Amino acid sequence: MNGPEIGRRVVLQRFAQALALGAGTGALPSRPSRGAAPEAAVDVRLGEPIGTIKPALYSQFAEHIGGVIYDGIWVGPDSKIPNVDGVRRALVEHVKQLGKIVIRWPGGCFADKYHWRDGIGPRALRPRRFGRWREETETNQFGTHEFIRFCRLCGTEPYLAANIGTGTAEEFQQWVEYCNAPAGATTLADERVANGDREPFGVHYWGVGNESWGCGGKFTPEDYCREYRRFTEWVPGYNVPLYLIAAGPNGNDVDWTRRFFQKWADYARAPIQGWAPHYYCGTTGHALKFTTDQWYEMFHKALKMESLIADQWRTLGEFDKEHHIKLVIDEWGTWHPEGTEINKRHLFEQMGCLRDALVAALTLDTFNRHADKVDMANIAQLVNNLQSLFLADGDRFVATPNFHVFAMYRPHHGAQAVRLEVESAEVSFQAAGRAAAIPRVAGSASRQGKALTLTLVHTHASEPVEVTIRLRDGAAAAVQQTVLTHESLNAHNTFELPEVVTPKSTVTDLKGATFVCKLPAASVTRLDVRLV
């Protein structure tokens, strides 16, 4: 479960029995308080840098599916819902708070049936097609120009996923040219200008296929590699360095990765900058009704991101010894069965609660700890879908607890990740009739000059924990603590009650090279440490 990068994890035996009794009782979410808080220790190795945390680790994914684009992002310029050029204004205001992230579009599975020319030109004249999902009509009102406008309004970068499943290599190359060629250079560039955008879109990130083992064509890794090479054999750059992303495996399927790269090495080393596995934490339960065992089980699944990164990285290294190719986890998140959607049209929409927020935090901490290996990660999906940051329906809009985690982690953007070692007891629980365990405390740390950001997730469902923080090679002059928690494990924000789960900050009197910090049960904590 935990790779070496988590650091030395010592289980403190003296707490093991109490935890075994206190955890995984199978009861519905509730938080009885019990006895004195046991300890954990965190060593922050300020002198051991890992790599710069790219803001792109906090990226998003927006697909033409259910309510993500239509209703979530696009309401249309004539709508009564406050909008900027047709894009929901409340969403723009919130996405701006996420920093200089990347947004992946138009899919997902949708990308492999999407023909970009359907989404350009006067909106009234655009063709209507069957959508990829449920065969709803895709009106193409939101196309390339609208997406780029959305990204620019939010201060984010676009990532376009090209159609390899039902499209052609030429169609892909022409999309790149349409987006990136300077005005006047080619007929396609002039068509872009005629459609309203003189300035090239300067799209850097391009996905070449999506889930090619599944909805993206059901290829074998070898066949996908052949197609990938054909699509990328010649792609116009137009002064924009292209970052090409190949579709990786379903979860941590090392065999898929090895077979693809074996073919890649034998056949021709087509340009690849990013390798994109997808990993979802699925449940058979319910987004809001779960037992404490299911609470822990979800984190057990989330923590598998650690071994996914380690295994995929090692496999890439067999073929790309200097590691020019980085990981791009361009779909990740929780996936609960239907039942909590706010609008039945919003396929895969789920109500994100405190449990999802902790999954987000555990996963983002994992990415931070691997800042040298992961170039980008995109939670699925931005709005009205799986582990969404926002829910919107008509004129109603709410930020989920997931959003607050992303906002809390913002100080990590652009900072230097430093090594963290966590010692804590494990929490034991039952998953599918078998005993399992997860660490009580996990986290990540980063430094920017005198500012140290430490984020910690405390997974225990009912007891607080006291953590001794030891700063190696440094000392704290001041510490501010921001906490996201709630006494109900399934607490969530609704249109009617939008601030049930929101972070609270306090200025502490903690200081020095060693200090003790209390983490509530079921919480995400950020410590903003001003170093001496």
Contact positions vs ligand AHR (CB under 6 A): 63, 107-109, 210-211, 331, 380-381, 386
For residues 326 and 254, give the distance between their C-alpha atoms in angstroms, rounded to a whole number.
15
Closer by beta carbon to ligand AHR, 131 or else 464: 131
- Shortest distance, position 119 Cβ to ligand AHR, whole Å: 17
The secondary structure element, H or E, covering residue 225 is helix 221-232
- Shortest distance, position 361 Cβ to ligand AHR, whole Å: 20
For residues 122 and 195, give the distance between their C-alpha atoms in angstroms, rounded to a whole number.
8
Closer by beta carbon to ligand AHR, 83 or else 381: 381
For residues 439 and 212, give the distance between their C-alpha atoms in angstroms, rounded to a whole number.
34
Closer by beta carbon to ligand AHR, 210 or else 424: 210
Closer by beta carbon to ligand AHR, 172 or else 515: 172
Q: Name which of 299, 356, 364, 308 is nearest 57 in CA terms.
A: 364
Closer by beta carbon to ligand AHR, 210 or else 402: 210
386 in Cβ contact with 334 (< 8 Å): yes
CA-based Rg of the chain, rounded to a whole angstrom?
23
- Shortest distance, position 396 Cβ to ligand AHR, whole Å: 23
Q: Is 463 a catalytic residue?
A: no
DSSP SS3 for 416: strand
Show the DSSP H helices in 370-455 as ranges.
401-408
Residue 41 Cα distances to 1, 437, 470, angstroms: 20, 18, 8
Q: Does the N-terminal peptide bond of residue 4 adopt cis geometry, omega within 30 degrees of 0? A: no
- What proportions of the chain, in percent to the nearest 5, are helix, strand and coil? 30, 30, 40
Closer by beta carbon to ligand AHR, 65 or else 235: 65
- Shortest distance, position 297 Cβ to ligand AHR, whole Å: 21
Residue 3 Cα distances to 90, 334, 433, angstroms: 40, 21, 25
- Shortest distance, position 340 Cβ to ligand AHR, whole Å: 16
**From 63, 146, 177, 211, the catalytic residue:** 211
Q: Name which of 474, 473, 466, 413 is nearest 444 in CA terms.
A: 413
Residue 452 Cα distances to 49, 236, 410, angstroms: 12, 42, 12
- By Cβ distance, which residue is nearest to ligand AHR? 108
Q: Is 157 a catalytic residue?
A: no
- Shortest distance, position 74 Cβ to ligand AHR, whole Å: 18
**From 177, 227, 331, 426, the catalytic residue:** 331
Query: Active-site positions?
Result: 211, 331
